[in-house]
């Protein structure tokens, strides 16, 4: 029961970070269209806006303070994804292969690669 609560907490934390990043990306995207993005003469201003938004997120996350906790979340998520991958493989019907099973497996593999990228980012900051 505690494991399930832990997994739910980890999932909600990752979801929270994803929503925050999505909002930031949407803000950059809409600002980019309002000011012609990072093309031509606007490239310098656009670069400053991107840097500013990244700094705001970094200030919210307090990575140096919570590095160990973030690393534990990422490690636990990787274990969770590995378990989902194994479960997907074991549920495959060999008599009637379903392409969506392989697509799901590939999506989970991409999630593992994303987790590795996030781990590198946390380690570097």
Residue 99 has pLDDT above 80, yes or no: yes
DSSP state of 62: T
Shared-domain flag, residues 46 and 74: no
d(C-alpha 63, C-alpha 101), whole Å: 36
Give residue 88's domain range: 63-125
Please count the structural domains in the chain.
2
- Where do the H-state alpha helices sit in the chain? 2-34, 43-61, 63-90, 99-124
Residues 56 and 83 occupy one common structural domain: no
Is pLDDT of 30 > 90?
Answer: no
Q: What is the pLDDT of residues 58-89, one digit of tens each?
A: 888 898 999 999 999 999 999 999 999 999 99
Residue ending a domain, among 61, 81, 100, is: 61
**Going by C-beta distance under 8 Å and a sequence separation of 6 or more, which residues neighbour residue 6?**
76
Burial class (CB in 10 A: 0-12, 13-18, 19+), 73: buried
pTM, two decimals, is 0.60
């Amino acid at each position: 029961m505690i494991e399930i609560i832990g997994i739910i907490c980890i999932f909600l934390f990752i979801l929270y970070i994803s929503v925050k990043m999505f909002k930031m990306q949407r803000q950059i995207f809409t600002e980019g269209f309002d000011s012609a993005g990072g093309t031509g003469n606007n490239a310098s201003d656009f670069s400053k806006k991107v840097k500013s938004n990244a700094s705001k997120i970094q200030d919210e996350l307090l990575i140096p303070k919570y590095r160990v906790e973030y690393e534990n979340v990422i490690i636990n998520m990787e274990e969770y994804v590995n378990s989902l991958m194994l479960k997907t493989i074991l549920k495959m019907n060999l008599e009637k292969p379903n392409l969506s099973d392989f697509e799901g497996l590939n999506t989970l593999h991409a999630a593992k690669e994303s987790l590795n990228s996030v781990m590198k980012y946390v380690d570097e900051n």
